[in-house]
Structure 1
Amino acid sequence: MEKVGIGIIGCGNISGAYLKAMTSDFPILDIRGLGDLNIELAEARATEFGLRAKSIDELLADPKIEIIVNLTIPKAHVAVALQALDAGKNTYSEKPLGINFAEGKKLAEVARARKLRIGAAPDTFLGGGHQTARTLIDKGLIGQPVGGTATFMCPGHERWHPNPAFYYEVGGGPMLDMGPYYITDLVNLLGPVSQVAGFAITPRAERIITSEPRNGEHIPVHVPTHVAGVMAFDNGAVVQIGMSFDVAGHKHVPLEVYGTEGTLIVPDPNRFGGQVEYLKKGGQFEEQSLTSPYSDGNFRSIGVADMAHAIRSDRPHRASGELALHVLEVMEAFHTASEEGRTIKITTTVGRPAPLADSLVDGRLAK
């Protein structure tokens, strides 16, 4: 199958994981250059992976590049994606799709008008752990889905990230940073969300960085850093969610899904693999064999590879703009619900992405 040309804009912390997977796991991807406003950063990444650093204008002008992979900080996601669309390129963004629903909706409208594809992370829901859980639900093992819990809680990213300030700017916070993993996986498992209720608070007005090289620096907080809420799904299930940068520690598992006949423990949605456990009503939790590929490593960029195969095969891609826009609306709705003291009805909907039963490598294409 003919390779698909890729240009990468944004060479920060997350780009290393993308490039490692792109260069080792997905032969359909032809990386034609790396760009960043900080050219030294682009050159360092290019040297690390044996690639070429180019200006952003060069990437956008290259006729052999079909997909721009947008790994910039959240507040730049839509601006860079619009540049790519203006240049006639499909675009795939790191999560979230945008920092608010309005700009995400604008991006989707421009893409439709230009008949170009947009996609967005996370793509971890395509990993073997989550696809195995999806298979078990689809087989009816838990019966009718009833509810679940989704939990990410930590003390904050200033402990480890070298430049953590953007996590506390508009477009950051635990819901827009970590929520995409959890909510996207739940849509994969249960389908679209219909209503949201929640509360969002900001316990601290500033944070102190404890990572290097900015150890000791104070940074302001502009977003809620502890969010608790409930999602009602179209299928009738009701899921509790908690996302926080203010919790010292906890004992919740990342994802549980409950049904009338059983319960599933779903792996961490920030990972591709992990253990799936199933409890049949009246029984005990038992580990389940993983039945899908991509469970034994970090395959970040599988969403890009799936988009590339979808372009060549003329089929929908799974980590789609429609999915990312729906998740963005849901995430924003928690903040709106808290501010306005009411339940928020979700205006978008999306079909569950097609399951990924087969490898994308060596021509064994998923249907």
Structure 2
Amino acid sequence: MKKLKIGIIGCGNISSIYMENCPKFPHLELVACADLDEKCAQAQAGKFGIPKACSVEELLSDPGIELVINLTIPKAHASVSLQALEAGKHVYSEKPLAITCEEGKQMLEAAKRKNLLVGSAPDTFLGAGIQTAIHLIEQGEIGVPVGASAFMICSGHEHWHPDPAFYYDIGGGPMFDMGPYYLTALVALLGPIKRISGSARISYPERTVRSKPKEGTKIVVSTPTHLSGVMDFASGVIGTITTSFDAFGGTSLPPIEIYGSQGTILVPDPNTFGGPVRIRKSDEKEFSEVPLSYGFAQNSRGLGVSDIAKAILEGGNYRANGELAYHVLEAMHGLLESSEKGTHYIMESTCARPESESKVLQFAEESF
């Protein structure tokens, strides 16, 4: 089997799971990693047996590397991805695709101009849990979908993350950090969004880090930390979403619910790949758990990388693609703009609902 040589830029927290998982896919070959802190790159290379740790410039100039996985902080996503595209590399980026819609457009235009592919996390919607929920909807198990709700509510990352400041900077906050998981899942379940209205606020202008090693450090908050919105989907479904870093007492709300004319589906946490998936039909008194009908229920980050790599090697479509990621990016900005201007935001972009047939997931799962 032909392998695609890949390199990772950004060796922070999230890189470990990619470095662990990518070699498990038979058509991926992780050959290099890079970071602004070369000692960090060297440490990760040693830990995961990556042949080369190098500078970003060295990685981008390596003619053997065809796909770059961009795991830098959100503010750097666009600049690093654009550098990779200009160097002739395909790109798969962590979420969000970019900080601004203009940056996102530049990335997609550069990729088109150079005949390259752009993909983006999250790829959790490709996992067993959400794919099973999609299958239930497609099979008509809840009739015609009419509504949806999504909740991501927590007390903020300063309670656990070793360096949480960027979560409260522009491009962070609960919507840009966690919103991509929920919005991508909703688009995968229900199709593209047509119109948005939203409300957003910075609840606390300053946060105190509670985690080590920066415990006691003060963070000035530059982005909303509590946001709620209403989404009109092109299909006619009306959905609501709330994301918050301000729930210090916790919450009992479900991650995602889909309401249909004949029943309701409880969709699992879209930040995970597995279940449980629960359904209650109109003639039933209780929810029942549905067996997962697809593979990849474990932490399978890298599944989207595998998907785009197969498209590079063999042609065809891939699902965690730039158009989907840009649509989600615009939706997040639309929520903020609606709040700022006090008006509805009409989406300019659209995207295809990602293909959901089980035949697409023809990857070796034995190692997961």
What is the TM-score of this pair, normalised by structure 1? 0.97
Alignment of 1:15-94 (within 5 A): 15-23=15-23, 25-51=24-50, 52-94=52-94
SS at structure 2 position matched to 1:189: helix
Distance in 1 (alpha carbons) for counterparts of 2:296 and 2:363: 11
Distance in 1 (alpha carbons) for counterparts of 2:185 and 2:163: 27
Partner of 2:243: 243
Distance in 1 (alpha carbons) for counterparts of 2:139 and 2:275: 20
Q: CA deviation at 1:355?
A: 1.2
Q: Which amino acid aligns with 2:187?
A: V
Q: CA deviation at 1:360?
A: 3.6
Partner of 2:294: 292
Q: CA deviation at 1:343?
A: 0.6
Q: CA deviation at 1:337?
A: 0.3
Distance in 1 (alpha carbons) for counterparts of 2:221 and 2:27: 41
SS at structure 2 position matched to 1:210: coil
Partner of 1:121: 121
Partner of 2:307: 306
1:52-76 Cα shifts (integer Å, max 9, x gaps)? 2112122111122111000000000
SS at structure 2 position matched to 1:16: helix
Partner of 2:234: 234
1:66-102 Cα shifts (integer Å, max 9, x gaps)? 1100000000000000000000000010000011112
The answer as to whether partners of 2:295 and 2:365 remain within 8 angstroms in 1 is: no
Partner of 1:355: 356
The answer as to whether partners of 1:36 and 1:55 remain within 8 angstroms in 2 is: yes
Q: Which amino acid aligns with 2:280?
A: L
The answer as to whether partners of 1:9 and 1:72 remain within 8 angstroms in 2 is: yes
SS at structure 2 position matched to 1:13: coil
Partner of 2:168: 168
Q: Which amino acid aligns with 1:64?
A: G
Q: Which amino acid aligns with 1:27?
A: P
Distance in 2 (alpha carbons) for counterparts of 1:69 and 1:326: 20
Partner of 2:195: 195
SS at structure 1 position matched to 2:106: helix
Tell me the C-alpha RMSD between the 2 structures: 1.2
The answer as to whether partners of 1:26 and 1:360 remain within 8 angstroms in 2 is: no
Partner of 1:109: 109
Deviates more, 1:56-65 or 1:231-240: 56-65
The answer as to whether partners of 1:292 and 1:356 remain within 8 angstroms in 2 is: no
Pick closer, same or farther for the CA change 1:159–1:356 going to 2, 3 Å.
Answer: farther
1:241-288 Cα shifts (integer Å, max 9, x gaps)? 000000121111100000111100000000000100011112121110
The answer as to whether partners of 1:9 and 1:34 remain within 8 angstroms in 2 is: yes
Q: Which consecutive aligned stretches of 4+ in structure 1 deviate over 3 angstroms post-superposition?
A: none
The answer as to whether partners of 2:148 and 2:238 remain within 8 angstroms in 1 is: yes
Q: Which amino acid aligns with 1:290?
A: L
Distance in 2 (alpha carbons) for counterparts of 1:66 and 1:79: 18
Partner of 1:334: 335
Q: Which amino acid aligns with 1:349?
A: T
- 2:258 corresponds to 1:257: yes
SS at structure 2 position matched to 1:232: strand
SS at structure 1 position matched to 2:239: strand
The answer as to whether partners of 2:156 and 2:245 remain within 8 angstroms in 1 is: yes
The answer as to whether partners of 1:200 and 1:226 remain within 8 angstroms in 2 is: yes
1:97-139 Cα shifts (integer Å, max 9, x gaps)? 0111121111111111111100100000000001000101001
- 2:217 corresponds to 1:225: no
The answer as to whether partners of 1:108 and 1:118 remain within 8 angstroms in 2 is: yes
Distance in 1 (alpha carbons) for counterparts of 2:44 and 2:28: 17
Q: CA deviation at 1:317?
A: 1.1
Distance in 2 (alpha carbons) for counterparts of 1:356 and 1:111: 27
Distance in 2 (alpha carbons) for counterparts of 1:209 and 1:20: 29
Partner of 1:4: 4
Partner of 2:143: 143
Distance in 1 (alpha carbons) for counterparts of 2:68 and 2:16: 16
Count of residue pairs the alignment pairs up: 362
What is the TM-score of this pair, normalised by structure 2? 0.96
1:311-352 Cα shifts (integer Å, max 9, x gaps)? 122011110000000000001111000000001000100011
